[in-house]
Structure 1
Amino acid sequence: MKRILLILRIELVLSFLLFLGCSTLFAQQPLTPAASTSIQAPIEQCTAPLVEQKQIEALGIFGSKEYFEAWMEDKIQDRTGANRRTAMDEVRVIPVVVHVIHNGEPLGQGANIPQSQIEAQIRILNEDYNRTNADASNTLAAFQPVAANANIQFVLAKQDPRGLPTNGVNRVQGPQTSYTQGDAITLSQSSYWDAEDYLNIWVAPLETINLGWSSFPVSDLQGLNFPPTSKETDGVTIDYEYFGEGGSAITASRGRTATHEVGHFLGLRHIWGDGGCDVDDFVNDTPDQNGSNSSCQTDRTTCGTLDMTQNYMDYTPDACMNIFTQGQLERMNVVLANSPRRISLVNGRATQAPQVVAHDLALETIIAPKDYVCSTTITPQVSIYNAGTDRLTSAELTISLNGQVLEQKSFNFDLNQGDGETLAFDPIQVANSGNNFEVNIIGVNGGTDENTANNTLTTSPVIQPNLALPYSYGSEDFNEVWTVKNDDEALTWETLNLILDGQSVDAVGLNFYNYETSGATDYLISPQINLTEFPNAQLVFDMAYARYPDEGLDDQLIIGISTDCGNTFDLINPPYQKSQESLETATASTAEFIPNSASDFRTEVVDLSQFSGDGNVRIAFITINGFGNNLFIKDIRINAAQETNYGFSLDQLVSPSPVPDGNQESDVIRLTNTGNLHINTLLVDRVLNGFGQSTLTLEDMDIAPDEQVDVQLPSLLNDGQNEMEYRLHSPNYDQNTNNEQQIRRFFYQDAGSVEVPWRQYFDDLLQLEPWTTVNPENGEDAWEVVVKEGSQNDNLAVLQGQSSGNTYWLGSPLMDLSNTSRASIFFDRAASGITDNTRLKVMLSLDGGQTFENQVAVFEGETLNTIIGDSPVNPNTASEFVKEFVDLSAFAGEGSENSRIAFVAENGTGTSNPIYLDNIELFLSDDPDPVYPTDGDAILYPNPATDIFSLVFNLSRREDVRIQVVSTSGQVAHDVIYPGTLNQTYHFSTALFSKGIFIIKIQSETLSITKRLIIR
């Protein structure tokens, strides 16, 4: 491809800042079957362009991609000009350690992949990088002349970091079930060998679409002495299903995911340059290419030339890949000859079997005293292991302080090769500082140790100050009592003075914006605190952070707790760990973030009570650099009690009701801030019918302490039965364990409707439909239809077997009451033995059941009983039922187009007698004592009539009824069809008729009657 030449050649011996660090991680998309011909746009989160831009802003031309590529080209020319051995003659052996991070599966199953799968991957790497791959002959003829043999051999490490023989595979059960690129440090903490000596390959179950990622090489030339990428995350990570062949790998895997990612590890860019035709991968013999390939379309042309679809650095399927080019080889040669943690790998010690002697006892570490100590009285302890071939049974060691031998002690043990032991000495006294502690092995098995290189270790213990609680940080404490740990000696914690709302405020912070060492950790460590004296202590601080608004540049803040005086911190299960949205307190910005208002800060709380049994602890503010934006902390205080807290109660689900119609846009939850801090953000998880939904973030709120608010969530309910679990948690992203509230509710969503008027006698029904029933608290059986004894098709609704604290809903279909000014319902009910707060409520909704804000009737306690005594009601005895009337006229008319009623029983118990309902009937009238015809009949009243006469019907089903009023002379005075007649009462004014005698004819499908009317 095109070579970018700098007009201004910088003739200085300079290190390049970062080798296009894709946040030092490059990711590969999933494999697609080779038969596929579709071209897809891969989803890849790679930050190289952004990193390049920030380098240019900070360093001008020295930070640019063009400068680095010119440096790379110079190195390529230097190699040629110096007439050095070519890659054709060089065989570079690179030791590999495969960290199998599994979930506890048996060896050979799932993520705990078999040895054969690992060996297959090493074989594939060697074939691909030495062009002995069986499909090399498939390389298109146009590209055969530039195909390269890299002469790189990968071997599983033959000795481990301790110098002992190994098979190069380390199997560890990981702390998570799956991992993302943001978990690189977690994978490293689970298993890691020194990146100076090993190519670390982590094989684990990965999330999302990424099959793997890789760190990029860096350089350390003079002139730009920026620190390299954190070595703890330097290596390659591959999903276990795409690693090698066979075993747990998917069928489509040919092991080329690792080939691709190792290419990044050795300095290769994606062949399309992560852009279009005008973006370069800085390799002369790879053609320009407009984007990646995700299928094996070998005749694809995108930039006027044939795409090199088969290149390992494209996104093509494994079966399609088969070529590195000479230009790509030149880049790999430069990196292997110049780049830190690459040059040291080549033919390193781990490629050779260890030279092991017979008698070799090694000091592994000084357990006590470490560099940080919390007491002047210390019991020295060291860990040892047998690094030799012969069994070791005894040794003699000395400990010295400031050059003076304090103790020489003999120990007996039984150690085979690789076995370890902890040895303890008599207690010693150390000064507050200025200590030099040394341990020496002076003999083993009564003779000489044959390898003295691992016989001495030293520490420099310094007494750490104590901290009394309660404590508030002062700026003078930064250097006096707090400790900064800055392993890379680059940017780290510093004291700052901010102007917030016009006031000067002391703070500490870390300049991530200009901190290029992605993955580097920095510690701000407190003095020692005796939590035994303060079992309910808490850490409180105010924090401000704005993200850089591009994916992949995510810094982290961890609160770590040390129980060994600050020498080690648990980074796998810390009490506080935030990044991305959970760390952000201000609007994301491409500009360098500096807070100017107290509103940019958020109060953070860490409950320390879980560590009360650990005695003396130290607290550390630990940052992991993601090259994002700046972090600030102020007002650090450590309280002796839980004085400051985020808290809330989930008071109720306001809507929808248990029987909605589905038109609701939101679920409304009422909550109260029970803490003493304002809540601006809440997270919501929902599980609908067993399926988890995306986490919702409720933000831009400001809920004051003791304030009650309603929050709205987009409704997700489906028609029919629904079970929804709501879990609200993490106010302001608080991570303390007591900050979540949840509620589970059942719904029956139905938009079925019925014409008015209507009746529901439950006869001829096996189910309640079109009525609905639900127990919203637990989904228990609710109302049901039962048959009266000895009767046919004479049913009623019953509720039996209630549970304490539950409600049981029986909801009608939707109905339109907007075209009437009067409405009422009658129903029969029966119950007995009710003496407590058990209630039967009649509720009315005007919004389709989203809410039932109108209680139109209630029967509670003894008033719910219809017979005397505790014996259950006999549903076959009509006299044990009471007919009730409820006037709904106040809710009829405009605004009642989407109404429904519900009968709700509540506060019952497991011993409550059944409650019965029957003969529910809606009338378009408000008469509590109506005239009621016999079944299938109609009544005319009053007769004779003076002002008004009425016809009332009682039909078994809705019918169209024709009513004619005919005079004695045969003249038709009224002839109208009344559709949908059921139980209506039709009123007629006598003013429309003359006085006299009339014949009223009533005809319908089931009715044909004549009545005589007298009008006076």
Structure 2
Amino acid sequence: MKQLYHSYFKYVFGSGIFIYLLLLSFHQILAQERCAVPQLLEERESKYPELSTEKFEKWISEKKKLRFQSSQRNQSNLVQIPVVFHVIHNGEPVGIGGNLLKSRIDRQLEILNEDFNRLNTDATETLEEFSNLAASFEIEFIYAKQDPDGFETNGIVRMPGSQASYGYQERAILSSESYWPAEDYLNIWVADLANGSLGWAEFPVSNLPGLDAASNNRLIDGVTLDYVYFGENPDSPSFESKGRTATHEMGHFFGLRHIWGDGGCSVDDYCEDTPFASRSSTGCDLAKTTCESLDMAQNFMDYTNDACMNIFTLDQKSRVRTVVENSPRRKSLTESVGLEEPPVFNRDLGLTEINSQYTGSCSGNFTPQIKIKNQGLFPLDQYSIQMLVDGELTETLTFNETLESGEEKEVFFSLLNFEETAEYSIFYSLNLEGNFQDERLDNNQKTEYFQKLENADLPYEKKFNNNINSWFIRNGDEEESWQIYDEAIGIPFYENRQNFGQKEEIISPIFDFTTLDVPELSFVFSQVADSIPNRVSIYASYDCGRNFDDLIFSNSITDISTAYTVDSVFTPQFRLDWDTVKIDLNRLRDEESVCFNIVAENRLGNNFYVSQFKIEESSKKNREIGIVKWQEINPLICEERLEGKLVIKNIGRENISNYKIEILNNGSLIKDYILNEELLVAGQDTEVDILIEQPEQNVGEFEIRAITNGVEGEIANSFYLPFEKNCIEELPPLRLVFNGSNSNNWFEFNPEKDKGWEYSSADFAVKSNSSEITTESSEDWLISPLLDVSNTNYLGLIFDVSYRKALRQSEKFEIYLSDDNGANFRTLIYSKSGDSLATSFGNDVPTQLVWRNEFIDLSPYVYRDKIRLAFKATHDNGQNIYLKNITFFVGQSPPPPYPNVRKPFVIYPNPAKNDLNLHLNLEIAEEGYFQILDMKGNVILDFTEPKILNQFISFDVSQLAEGMYILRLRTNRFSASERFMIQK
């Protein structure tokens, strides 16, 4: 290993250190964006600890030693690597945009060979300090000579992509656009890359046993390059591309790390002849010195400009050659059939292209067609092709026309008509007729499938209860696919994690959307929160399953993880393991023939499930106003009017400029607000100031109606505001006693009229019933009595809370304080939600609650004569919030825990010297009469407290003589006494 010498610097130039750190931070940001390999390595290692850097480096170190000891190190052993360039463009003609000219691709291949073999013309510019370390890797990259089907190729595939650009997180999508088996071909994808990345590469793995499942990400193995920095491009931004991005990423592909180790002076790149560096280099600073040595800024594994790069080192060569000779899918490249010319036969007739592996049509009519090609050297003039449908010979075409060597012919069969709803297999078999035999038969057969889909009426609901019935699976790779589970369908991704990038499809029936006014699709799903969640997409087809081109949903936008990660096969067990996504399909309302394809893509995650698929009229109207919540209001009236803010939201599809708010009492309109001044955009909310005069009755309920008018007529949504004239005052201390009907002057405010706060006898607590409330952002309030704090200097609130956080749902708990004598709640004193509120985590209903004690100092608010508190739960249909031991106590800090004894009070220390502490813990607050007596019964001290409950009181007993005394407490309910001793 290299020796590392540390040097410490102290900056004393005012803002100089800030500028230095700012530039360093900016430099690091640029470095992170240029090459995504560090992120890929971090992602892989977190997912598969068995592929850790430590284990890989230990393996490669041992292999390097063995290689050094063998005769390999002295041999000149040129190896060839077959390359295929997948040019993924946006439909441009060749030579425009990302659809690069072949000449530019040719030049990039030349640059790779020059740089890897020290044939680059700028090799003479290597600094003298490093020139003796320069190495040739003796690796030659060549265009693949035959494709995976054994046909001749030029090593370039051009394909329009499904996305305009790709980030490294979407590399499975990119590779699925075009891919050749990574065991035999070095895949190089050239595309428009997102997020500033110039490229990335998949890092090699060891050949140690036990790594098959973790390392077999063959479907993404290769190198990815941004087309702008591909080959020579004098117009590339930041720096002029000279093709060194490919050289850099190819170094990663063969196991080289960034020269600065992606860390600092203490982080190694595991090559002994590359100096340590504290960070990457940019530009071309050849004098850059960090870690007490000159940096090798010209190394291809740094971030310098292309024109500055010119060297790989001897130990980098040793590392790369070790990988080439030992790592799976690196060693196999050197033995690939792609290096060989395709086999040449005198007579070789083959099938090349069919319509597609799966197809369909609305009418059931299908015209089969296929291409045949003369792959042999001799012309052929007698051949036939048979078509079998579901195993039965349907048609034979015989040809007596010459097909020259290399010539292709497109063949059309008679129109087929499939009337029954089913899947049909169409098998083609090519035969050479006459006196000669076909010398290669493995390219003479192909199969495709036609699916005649069922028509289904709308509205439609499919529950996957042990069947898929009118749905069809498309399993093109013949690997894992959709399976039927209890109450759901799913894909066993967990057992097949090696098949990264594989797509599994299932096709719906055909629907006529002209029968719905405002269609909406929803599906119920379940999957755990893996670090790389499975990709789930839904595509629409307007030609009955022939083409699925319209993406209507993707979880790249909407996260659909529902449960916490598990280290085994995930099976949904609890209500919260499932969730629903709703998709607005209003744009399809004029389409007569629509079917859907649910596509789940293997991204090394756990199993994915769907239990229900539904299409129905959307509950969302064109013009509709919803009432979201009240703010700053107290429904407990003393002498004041009810006033506050009503939060309303445009929950319709259209922008609204006129609507009204009506307030009713016992069905009679008492006030309305006509609002037509401000445009309310769809999805936007706003506040409306509301003032309601004090009602005549003591208890009642206002109905608040938000009304709009449109083509659907009048649409009104109601919100209910219960009220009560409640001016009963309580003195602190006070404890919430909420055991069924007796709420001890506490008030529940439930504006949606759903199931609000209630007492749970099993838990001796109040609970929020969030698990039963499905209304979005529904609220429930629990409001305290009016507290008289006019004679209180210090006041505290303590309570215990329990909340089990589900993965997807997030309840919120807040406490508001009214410091205007109880008129309105405007002061937020406590707010926690989700993870911060949680005392435990899980989708299962807890068998035992986990509690956390909370304390809030209310002393800053006792300057007012009266205060109220409101406890508000905002629901998300997740787990319930539980509260107990809600207590107001006199004091500025929480009292110590009460001893585990069944006594109304305890005193300590005992014996006492100067102070005696009295800790009360009564069930019910009431007046208390205290006495301290000596053993003869003489009263030394007596006083009365108007209300006692849970106080913590200290007495000064320093003036008492040594001896035994009695503390006596008497209330209307009991009398108790305790002895204590004074000891000086």
TM-score (norm 2): 0.52
Q: Does 1:136 align with 2:123?
A: yes
SS across alignment from 2:285: coil
Q: Residue 537 of structure 2 corresponds to which residue in structure 1?
A: 558
The CA deviation string for residues 245-285 of structure 1, in whole angstroms up to 9 with x for no partner, is 25765672221011011112222222222222333333343
Contact 2:563/2:577 (<8 A) preserved: no
Contact 1:539/1:636 (<8 A) preserved: no
Q: Distance in 2 between matches of 1:404 and 1:358?
A: 32
Q: Does 1:521 align with 2:502?
A: yes
What aligned pairs does 1:465-864 form with structure 2 within 5 A after superposition? 468-469=456-457, 471-477=460-466, 519-523=500-504, 525-526=506-507, 528-529=509-510, 539-543=521-525, 553=532, 555-561=534-540, 570=548, 573-583=549-559, 601-605=579-583, 607=585, 617=595, 619-626=596-603, 636-639=612-615, 642-644=616-618, 672-674=650-652, 709-710=685-686
What aligned pairs does 1:24-35 form with structure 2 within 5 A after superposition? none
- State the superposition RMSD in angstroms: 5.3
Q: Distance in 2 between matches of 1:51 and 1:112?
A: 27
Q: CA distance change for structure 1 residues 591 and 190 in 2, over 3 Å: closer, same or farther? A: closer
Q: Residue 364 of structure 1 corresponds to which residue in structure 2?
A: 352
Which segment is superposed worse, 260-269 or 511-520?
511-520
Q: Distance in 1 between matches of 2:623 and 2:423?
A: 54
Q: CA distance change for structure 1 residues 418 and 84 in 2, over 3 Å: closer, same or farther? A: farther
Q: Residue 119 of structure 1 corresponds to which residue in structure 2?
A: 106
- 1:424 counterpart letter in structure 2: F
Q: Does 1:282 align with 2:267?
A: no
Q: Distance in 2 between matches of 1:526 and 1:113?
A: 36
Contact 2:514/2:589 (<8 A) preserved: no
Q: In percent, how many aligned pairs have the same letter?
A: 34
Q: Give, in angstroms, the shift of residue 152 of structure 1.
A: 0.9
Q: Distance in 2 between matches of 1:332 and 1:475?
A: 51
The CA deviation string for residues 549-585 of structure 1, in whole angstroms up to 9 with x for no partner, is 8xxx46532113578998x874xx4423424453257
Q: CA distance change for structure 1 residues 518 and 286 in 2, over 3 Å: closer, same or farther? A: farther
Q: Residue 408 of structure 2 corresponds to which residue in structure 1?
A: 419
Which ranges in structure 2 are unaligned for 5 or more consecutive residues?
4-23, 626-646, 655-679, 689-984
Q: Residue 313 of structure 1 corresponds to which residue in structure 2?
A: 301
Q: Distance in 2 between matches of 1:515 and 1:287?
A: 42
- 1:279 counterpart letter in structure 2: V
Q: Does 1:441 align with 2:430?
A: yes
Q: CA distance change for structure 1 residues 382 and 599 in 2, over 3 Å: closer, same or farther? A: closer
Q: 2:192 is matched with which residue: 197, 205, 217?
A: 205
Q: Give, in angstroms, the shift of residue 127 of structure 1.
A: 0.7
Q: Distance in 1 between matches of 2:169 and 2:515?
A: 35
Q: Give, in angstroms, the shift of residue 132 of structure 1.
A: 1.2
- Higher gyration radius (CA): 1
Q: Distance in 2 between matches of 1:242 and 1:411?
A: 50
Q: CA distance change for structure 1 residues 84 and 227 in 2, over 3 Å: closer, same or farther? A: farther
Q: CA distance change for structure 1 residues 513 and 673 in 2, over 3 Å: closer, same or farther? A: farther
SS across alignment from 2:282: coil
Q: Does 1:453 align with 2:441?
A: yes
Q: CA distance change for structure 1 residues 398 and 112 in 2, over 3 Å: closer, same or farther? A: closer
Q: CA distance change for structure 1 residues 413 and 134 in 2, over 3 Å: closer, same or farther? A: same
- 1:603 counterpart letter in structure 2: V
Q: Distance in 1 between matches of 2:401 and 2:326?
A: 46
Q: Give, in angstroms, the shift of residue 67 of structure 1.
A: 1.8
Q: Distance in 2 between matches of 1:58 and 1:341?
A: 20
Q: Distance in 1 between matches of 2:464 and 2:266?
A: 52
SS across alignment from 1:97: strand
What aligned pairs does 1:339-354 form with structure 2 within 5 A after superposition? 339-346=327-334, 348-354=336-342
Q: Distance in 1 between matches of 2:587 and 2:164?
A: 28
SS across alignment from 2:105: helix
Contact 2:474/2:507 (<8 A) preserved: no
Q: Distance in 2 between matches of 1:490 and 1:221?
A: 25
Q: Does 1:254 align with 2:242?
A: yes
Q: 1:99 is matched with which residue: 66, 83, 86?
A: 86
Q: Give, in angstroms, the shift of residue 396 of structure 1.
A: 0.9
Q: Distance in 2 between matches of 1:227 and 1:402?
A: 39
What aligned pairs does 1:991-1010 form with structure 2 within 5 A after superposition? none
Q: Does 1:302 align with 2:290?
A: yes
Contact 1:605/1:644 (<8 A) preserved: no
Q: Distance in 2 between matches of 1:564 and 1:645?
A: 28
Q: Give, in angstroms, the shift of residue 202 of structure 1.
A: 2.9
Q: Residue 167 of structure 2 corresponds to which residue in structure 1?
A: 180
Q: Give, in angstroms, the shift of residue 57 of structure 1.
A: 7.1
Contact 1:482/1:524 (<8 A) preserved: no
Q: CA distance change for structure 1 residues 586 and 88 in 2, over 3 Å: closer, same or farther? A: same
Q: 2:252 is matched with which residue: 248, 252, 264?
A: 264
Q: Distance in 2 between matches of 1:369 and 1:192?
A: 16
Contact 2:520/2:582 (<8 A) preserved: no
Q: Does 1:398 align with 2:379?
A: no
Which segment is superposed worse, 586-595 or 556-565?
586-595
Q: Distance in 2 between matches of 1:595 and 1:270?
A: 45
Contact 2:31/2:303 (<8 A) preserved: no
Contact 1:212/1:261 (<8 A) preserved: yes
Q: Give, in angstroms, the shift of residue 116 of structure 1.
A: 3.0
Q: Give, in angstroms, the shift of residue 472 of structure 1.
A: 3.6
- 1:155 counterpart letter in structure 2: I
Q: 1:44 is matched with which residue: 18, 28, 32?
A: 32
- 2:652 counterpart letter in structure 1: T
SS across alignment from 1:98: strand
Q: Distance in 2 between matches of 1:671 and 1:385?
A: 64
Q: Residue 753 of structure 1 corresponds to which residue in structure 2?
A: none
Which ranges in structure 1 are unaligned for 5 or more consecutive residues?
4-35, 498-505, 652-668, 677-703, 713-1016
Q: Distance in 1 between matches of 2:423 and 2:623?
A: 54
Contact 2:56/2:206 (<8 A) preserved: no
- 1:523 counterpart letter in structure 2: E
Q: CA distance change for structure 1 residues 634 and 367 in 2, over 3 Å: closer, same or farther? A: closer
Q: CA distance change for structure 1 residues 521 and 125 in 2, over 3 Å: closer, same or farther? A: same
Q: CA distance change for structure 1 residues 595 and 72 in 2, over 3 Å: closer, same or farther? A: farther
Q: Give, in angstroms, the shift of residue 474 of structure 1.
A: 3.6
Q: CA distance change for structure 1 residues 239 and 462 in 2, over 3 Å: closer, same or farther? A: closer
Which segment is superposed worse, 195-204 or 387-396?
387-396
The CA deviation string for residues 805-842 of structure 1, in whole angstroms up to 9 with x for no partner, is xxxxxxxxxxxxxxxxxxxxxxxxxxxxxxxxxxxxxx
Contact 2:190/2:227 (<8 A) preserved: yes
Q: CA distance change for structure 1 residues 673 and 585 in 2, over 3 Å: closer, same or farther? A: farther
The CA deviation string for residues 215-273 of structure 1, in whole angstroms up to 9 with x for no partner, is 33346754233065554443322222322225765672221011011112222222222
Q: Does 1:157 align with 2:148?
A: no
Q: Give, in angstroms, the shift of residue 198 of structure 1.
A: 3.0
The CA deviation string for residues 668-687 of structure 1, in whole angstroms up to 9 with x for no partner, is x99621269xxxxxxxxxxx
Q: Give, in angstroms, the shift of residue 385 of structure 1.
A: 3.1
